[in-house]
Amino acid sequence: MFGNASHQLAHYLATSLGFVTVQEDQFGIVVKGTPVTGVPDWISTFGVDYNKKSLLRADDSLDVRFEGHYTGHQYTSYDLTGFQNIGPIAGAGAYGTYDYYNVTAGATTYDPNGGINPYVLFSLDATYTMPTPGLKYVRELKFNLNVQNMFDQHYYAYYYKQISPNACGNFTSGPFKGQPISDYGCTPEFADALSGEPASVTVTISAKF
């Protein structure tokens, strides 16, 4: 039997423009003290290895590995519209100014209301190796069964809320009247996700000559 676990504590140490975020979410703004997106708070692997010699006939072997992988809560990100106050940003001016709006609109940052729920994936790998002294050319046969995501757990490998570019002219009223509206200012936010691998079963038969 085997098992391990580790706790991840990853937070940004300073506020800055993060043009390459950990999840590679377009371009972004990282805020001091906020968690790094795409990093699980806990990860763990556990399971059992089993080996049996001479199970059905002399010198054969059965190797079985049953394994579980736990991935804890992951923080996700979202696109800013430009009207959120996420604190002082060097070179962006004060919140409420057009410069601040222009820097933050469409930028990706940590979503305090988002996240990917924890999940557990189970896998099985079983190999039976059988010597074949009675066959003229074949010395050994090997049968392998591999099962991934055994219980067909639905999970997200990646998730964030984004706004697609959509040019929409200038502001017609308010403090930014006459200024260009960000390409990200006219499109509703939507979820962008990548589902994890579904259950799969692979059977392989190989021979040694």
Give the CA angle between residues 50, 55, 57 to the nearest 5°. 150
Query: pLDDT, tens digit, for every residue of 73-93?
Result: 999 888 888 888 988 888 788
Q: Could you tell me which residue, 2 or 180, shows the higher pLDDT?
A: 2
Query: pLDDT, tens digit, for every residue of 149-158?
Result: 999 999 988 8
Cβ burial of 116 (10 Å; 0-12, 13-18, 19+) is buried
pLDDT band at 168 (very low <50, low <70, confident <90, very high): confident
Q: Quick check: 68 and 45 in contact, CB under 8 A?
A: yes
pLDDT of residue 82: 87
Distance between CA atoms of residues 29 and 107, nearest Å: 6
Query: pLDDT, tens digit, for every residue of 93-107?
Result: 899 899 999 888 888
SS3 letters for the chain?
Answer: CEEEEEECCCECCCCEEECCCCCCCCCEEECCCCECCCCECEEEEEEEEEEEECCCCCCCEEEEEEEEEEECCECCEEECCCCCCCCCCCCCCCCCCHHHHHHHCCCEEECCCCCECCEEEEEEEEEEEEECCCCCCCCEEEEEEEEECCCCCCCEEEEEEECCCCCCCECCCCCCCCCECCCCCCCCCEEEEEECCCCEEEEEEEEEC
Q: Could you tell me which residue, 66 or 75, shows the higher pLDDT?
A: 66
Backbone φ and ψ of 32, nearest 5°: -50, 130
pLDDT band at 66 (very low <50, low <70, confident <90, very high): very high
Cβ burial of 205 (10 Å; 0-12, 13-18, 19+) is exposed
Query: Would you kindly state where each structural domain of the chain is located, as residue ranges?
Result: 2-208
